[in-house]
Amino acid sequence: MTSLLRAPFAAIGRGGRTLMVGLGQWGRMVWEAIVSLRDVDVWLGLTLRQMTRVGVDSVPIALFIAMFTGIVLALQASYTFTGAIPLYFVGVLVGKTMMLELGPVLTGLALSGRVGANISAELGTMRVTEQIDALETMAYPPVAYLVVPRVLAGIIMFPLVTALAIGVGIAAGWLTSLQLLDMSTYEFVYGLTLFFQPFDVTFAMVKTISFGFVVTSIGCFYGFRTRGGAEGVGRSTTQAVVVSSMVILVLDAFWAITLL
Amino acid sequence: MAIELRDVYKAFGSKEVLRGFSAEARDGETLVILGGSGSGKSVTLKHIVGLLEPDRGEVWVDGLRVDELDREGLFELRRNVGYVFQFAALFDSMTVAENVGMGLKRLTGVSKEDRLRRVEECLARVDMAGYGERLPAELSGGQKKRVGIARAIATEPRYILYDEPTTGLDPMTRAVIDELINRMKAELGVTGIVITHDMESAFRVADRFAMIHDGKQQFQGSPDEIRSSADPMVRAFIEGRPELIEEAE
């Protein structure tokens, strides 16, 4: 009976310990990446290539999501207001929601699937096929070669991709307002600018930079610690996507609490 | 001694892999380390280039204690040690030539022209001239191993470590790889350590043998000495007759 009562606490204890150990190992890798910034000759050229893979190649999916989000936001705003609130508030809602919440978070979640999974699978495969060991035997510091370019690319490119996504989302909301809601461009833009503050842009960028950092660093972390064969790679990839998606949502709430 | 492991212990969790293993490779010779699957042969090799640190014991290469080297010291050591991986470990996003040239890029004072020339030389040395633009996925297992050897010799190392170089290859290709290992020793004067459980191959390349069993050194000696060994464990292994161990017990 006692052991039955103790079991949930033991499970919580084990989970907590696993979390703390994982956090410690991830922190150690991040610290090593910071120290590896001195190996400029190793990571500089590779960072440009990763910026293309992390950023440019992610533009289509980010814009696709943003476009439909903008359309739905405009239609739902109009449906909710139902004549009680002036229609130019559609512009307010589309602009604020895209910039402060849906643009950064939906792009972050989409890229955690695309970029995080890609990084984890690639590094995981390199780990199990001894390619990372091979790098080390040729005197390449693996963190400088593999982690630093990817994390830097995430930090630089996530805000750019998100800015594009926010722009496309708002444009989609504007076109929807013109074509389906019988609004004028003047009304939409009036609403869009009514409560706009430059801090909104700062807030969105702070969020996306943090999302870029966690998605790429968590992808690298799970890739690096992959063990076993194809099954291990699959497990790491799943963990990278699940954990980075959860961390994005936690960070989203954290920034709202601390900055708004 | 060029390379020496002294009383090395290594455990992964509760699994003790090395339990006081010692072995040495002398300058210019090829030492073959024998042992069954999972006996700790690859773990031993990884200690020599500092990919793993021993829990106890010492690893010496060229008078340097590997397990006490700092980051820069390890990089310097690794420039003198070529490593041929069991499944070649070629970078699959790079061409064969890029793979072979990777180590050279880390050396200062090597121009791009010199690097390309050296890559061509190394590929020719392993009979892979003309394959530079191919991707690893387009090569057979034997060709990958040959490229792995070309990559290992590109920086003109003093030592080459071969991790089961003939595993999974057909008899003809195994003979080709063995001949390459001997050629590297004769032409480049490198000291080699080969780990294998392929006895035919082992006798073709070995100047001396060491055998690992139960995490410890079971035998060290010349090919003639291993052939005439009375140790049932050694005989069981080289003759492929496990019943000899049971008979001895």
* pLDDT, tens digit (0-9, with 9 covering 90-100), for A144-171: 999 999 999 999 999 999 999 999 999 9
Comparing C-alpha atoms, which of B222, B220, B223, B241 is closest to residue B232? B241
Q: How far apart are CA A4 and CA B185, in angstroms?
A: 66
Q: CB–CB of A136 and B103 under 8 A? A: no
Q: CB–CB of B78 and A129 under 8 A? A: no
For chain A, the domain total comes to: 1
Q: What percent of chain B has pLDDT over 70?
A: 99
* pLDDT, tens digit (0-9, with 9 covering 90-100), for A120-153: 999 999 999 999 999 999 999 999 999 999 999 9
> For residue A140, which residues of chain B lie inside 8 Å, CB to CB?
102, 106
Asked if the structure places residue A244 within a domain, the reply is: yes
Is A140 in CB contact (< 8 Å) with chain B? yes
Per-position b or e across B137-165, b if 16+ CB within 10 A of its CB: eebeebbbbbbbbbbbbbbebbbbbbbbb
> For residue A130, which residues of chain B lie inside 8 Å, CB to CB?
85-87, 89
Q: How confident is the model at residue B249 (pLDDT cuts 50, 70, 90)?
A: low
Is A1 in CB contact (< 8 Å) with chain B? no
Tell me whether strands B191-196 and B159-163 are parallel, antiparallel or unpaired.
parallel
* pLDDT, tens digit (0-9, with 9 covering 90-100), for B30-87: 999 998 888 899 999 999 999 999 999 999 998 999 999 998 899 889 989 999 999 9
Q: CB–CB of B103 and A138 under 8 A? A: yes
Per-position b or e across B186-206, b if 16+ CB within 10 A of its CB: eeeebbbbbbbbbbebbebbb
Domain spans of chain B?
Answer: 27-206
What is the distance in angstroms between the Cα of A145 and the nearest Cα belonging to chain B? 12
> For residue B75, which residues of chain A lie inside 8 Å, CB to CB?
139, 141
Examine the pLDDT at A83 and tell me if it is beyond 90: no
Q: CB–CB of A138 and B78 under 8 A? A: yes
Contact A139, B106 (CB under 8 A): yes
Q: How confident is the model at residue B177 (pLDDT cuts 50, 70, 90)?
A: confident
Asked if the structure places residue A28 within a domain, the reply is: no
CATH class of B27-206: alpha beta
Task: State residue B248's pLDDT score.
Answer: 66
Backbone angles phi, psi at B95, to 5 degrees: -75, 170
| Of A65-69, B10-14, B231-235, the least confident | B231-235
Asked if the structure places residue A87 within a domain, the reply is: yes
Task: State residue A7's pLDDT score.
Answer: 87
Examine the pLDDT at A65 and tell me if it is beyond 70: yes
Determine if residue B194 is left, alpha or beta; phi over 0 gives left, psi from -120 to 50 gives alpha, anything else beta: beta
Question: Which residue does chain A place closest to B102, by CA atoms?
Answer: A138
Q: CB–CB of B91 and A130 under 8 A? A: no
Please give the ipTM for the structure prediction: 0.89
Residue A212 buriedness (CB in 10 A; 0-12 / 13-18 / 19+): buried
Q: CB–CB of A138 and B102 under 8 A? A: yes
Examine the pLDDT at A2 and tell me if it is beyond 90: no
Q: Which of B71, B78, B87 sits opposite A137 (nearest CB)?
A: B78
Q: What percent of chain A has pLDDT over 70?
A: 100
Q: How far apart are CA B81 and CA A27, in angstroms?
A: 31
Question: Which residue does chain A place closest to B84, by CA atoms?
Answer: A134
Q: CB–CB of A138 and B46 under 8 A? A: no
The domain in which residue A187 lies consists of: 52-259
Which of A42, A52, A53, A130 best tests the B interface by mutation, with the highest count of B CBs <10 A? A130
Examine the pLDDT at A73 and tell me if it is beyond 90: yes
Asked if the structure places residue A121 within a domain, the reply is: yes
Is A257 in CB contact (< 8 Å) with chain B? no
Average of per-residue pLDDT across B154-180? 89
Tell me whether strands B3-12 and B56-61 are parallel, antiparallel or unpaired.
antiparallel
Q: CB–CB of A134 and B85 under 8 A? A: yes
Average pLDDT, chain B: 91
Q: CB–CB of B51 and A133 under 8 A? A: yes
Vertex A141 angle, CA A136 and A147, to 5°: 115
Contact A206, A193 (CB under 8 A): no
Q: CB–CB of B89 and A141 under 8 A? A: no
Task: State residue A254's pLDDT score.
Answer: 96
* pLDDT, tens digit (0-9, with 9 covering 90-100), for B88-115: 999 999 999 999 999 999 887 889 999 9
Tokens of B238: 């080289």
Vertex B138 angle, CA B135 and B142, to 5°: 105
